[in-house]
Amino acid sequence: MLIPIFNFLLIIQITRSQLQNSDKYASSFEIDLDEYNNLWQKNISNENETLFIIKNVLSSYCYVRINLKQNDPSLILMADYGQFPNDSLIQSYKQGEKIDRISSLENRKNRFLKLQSELQDIYISVRVNNTDNQFQISISGSSEEECNNDCSNNGVCEANGCSCYNSFIGNDCHQIAEQLLLGTQKQFYFNTSSSFTFFYINLKPLMEHTLRIDLTQYSNDTHSEQVDNSNNCLEVWIYKSKALVQQLNDYTQQYFHTFLIEQGTQIITTKIPSNLNVQQQILWFAIAKDTETFDSVQLSIAVSQDDAVIYEYDQKDDNDETNKLLYIILPTTLIPITILLIIIYYLRKKKNQGIDNPNVVPKKQPEIENEPEKCAICFEGLNTKNKAVITIECNHLFHNSCIHQWGVQQVGLKSCPTCRRPFKPEELQ
């Protein structure tokens, strides 16, 4: 008897909660997406919060697109399955499915969601603070893979989102960016006005190694002197997500790290883990010139592998931590070295005893094969099949395709990647 009563009270409580949630919306719409009508559109204006309830989604996906009349970072697009979107769950909502936080952070004119069809009602909430703004919402059902802005025609739409072509980055591949290859150095010019210039680095060859980025800033369009501390106008923004934020405030600063190029130079090093997924294997960063200057600014960027030093973004000079590390490192290092020296001593003593005894025949030591040489550009073996090997003027060996590509990417005088001795790619056979 108590169980039916309890269930009845629970249903009443859920219904009351749903009614309270529905009361906060200025307007609501119920939409049926069936086999005869799989597209619904409407223009909305002067509404603080609008609710859309999607029913009868027969296709695999439900796509929600919003186009704003003007930029409005306050517009929040959220969705949930079988219940009203909950503000307390925003941080747990999956980007691109239940919330489009990237477009809000980037202050774009569009929003996009890709929802799964789970044979239950879908609740979509659109909230704006700017009542003067207008937007068009489009809700459609489809079994095809679709992406935000069709990847801006600069990429391929896949199940996990856009896969951008070379020279493009962003959640929808909208942003032009310069690729920086490992082992290269490039020069860039920034004019007198404020600007954002984007770059990206493929981290796949650097997994389990240390990435090093050397930045050197020059002024007056010359390479003779570095800028002094009073002309620090360039800043490095390294992004931790796909949101290419260009405004710094208390909310957006959690999505990137910033480094000021102080006194004309900055060195950034970080250890690349071995468990990066495909989406994390591309590092995005920008050079922000946030002030106007009288002269243009020149910046040299060099990308290399540096396993000698391992720093993290949040490294601090902490003497106590350093002392703790020394207490750990010294014993663990000295004890093995001591044991090794003792072993060497006894082995040499035994060897000398064998020499003094003419009846002891020394054993022939097995020959140790030399480790195959590697190409200093791609770090693959020189004996790799289907890859020709070439010797340049300084007698260093490289893959033929690698050294030619190295020569094309270098600006000005071409030099050997190993010894920096000049060479002429056009004379290579």
- What would the pLDDT profile of 83-123 be if each residue is shown by its tens digit? 999 988 888 999 999 999 999 999 999 999 999 887 689 99
Q: What are the beta bridge partners of residue 52?
A: 29, 124
181 and 295, same domain (yes or no): yes
* Of 330 and 196, the one with more pLDDT: 196
- Number of other CB atoms surrounding residue 60 within 10 Å: 12
What does each C-alpha distance from 13 to 25, 129, 237, 238 come to in angstroms?
20, 30, 49, 47
Q: How many helical (H) and strand (E) elements, i.e. helices and strands, does the chain have?
A: 4, 23
273 and 376, same domain (yes or no): no
Task: Tell me whether residue 352 is in a domain.
Answer: no
Query: Can you give the CATH number for the domain in which 45 is found?
Result: 2.60.120.380
Look at the block and give the residue holding tokens 């703790």: 324
Rounded mean pLDDT of 247-252? 83
Query: Can you give the CATH number for the domain in which 404 is found?
Result: 3.30.40.10
Q: Is the pLDDT of residue 335 over 60?
A: yes
192 and 120, same domain (yes or no): no
Q: Is the pLDDT of residue 57 over 60?
A: yes
**Average pLDDT for the chain:** 81
Asked if 65 contacts 71 with a C-beta cutoff of 8 angstroms, the reply is no
Task: Tell me whether residue 25 is in a domain.
Answer: yes
When pLDDT is cut at 50, 70 and 90, the band that residue 73 belongs to is confident
Asked if 186 contacts 303 with a C-beta cutoff of 8 angstroms, the reply is no
* Of 26 and 73, the one with more pLDDT: 73
Rounded mean pLDDT of 45-68? 88
220 and 278, same domain (yes or no): yes
Q: Is the pLDDT of residue 241 over 50?
A: yes
Residue 163: what pLDDT?
92
**Separation between Cα atoms, residue 82 and residue 57, nearest integer Å:** 13
Task: Tell me whether residue 50 is in a domain.
Answer: yes
Burial of residue 213 (number of CB atoms within 10 Å: 0-12, 13-18, 19+): buried
- Number of other CB atoms surrounding residue 318 within 10 Å: 10
196 and 270, same domain (yes or no): yes
**Separation between Cα atoms, residue 146 and residue 38, nearest integer Å:** 15
Residue 17: what pLDDT?
47
**Model pTM score:** 0.63
Give pLDDT tens digits for 18-51.
444 555 677 889 998 877 788 999 998 867 789 9
Total structural domains in the chain?
3
Residue 192: what pLDDT?
80
Task: Tell me whether residue 334 is in a domain.
Answer: no
Rounded mean pLDDT of 217-238? 65
Give pLDDT tens digits for 80-94.
999 999 988 888 999
Q: Which domain holds residue 243?
A: 177-305
268 and 223, same domain (yes or no): yes
183 and 140, same domain (yes or no): no
Burial of residue 46 (number of CB atoms within 10 Å: 0-12, 13-18, 19+): exposed
**Separation between Cα atoms, residue 393 and residue 424, nearest integer Å:** 9
Beta strands in 203-292 (DSSP E): 210-219, 234-239, 256-260, 265-271, 282-289
Residue 414: what pLDDT?
81
When pLDDT is cut at 50, 70 and 90, the band that residue 244 belongs to is very high
Highest mean pLDDT among 193-207, 217-231, 283-297: 193-207
* Of 374 and 130, the one with more pLDDT: 374
When pLDDT is cut at 50, 70 and 90, the band that residue 229 belongs to is very low
Task: Tell me whether residue 330 is in a domain.
Answer: no
35 and 124, same domain (yes or no): yes
Rounded mean pLDDT of 251-266? 87
When pLDDT is cut at 50, 70 and 90, the band that residue 322 belongs to is low
Rounded mean pLDDT of 355-378? 57
* Of 126 and 393, the one with more pLDDT: 126
241 and 181, same domain (yes or no): yes
Task: Tell me whether residue 313 is in a domain.
Answer: no
Rounded mean pLDDT of 317-336? 66
**Separation between Cα atoms, residue 413 and residue 197, nearest integer Å:** 25
Asked if 122 contacts 131 with a C-beta cutoff of 8 angstroms, the reply is no
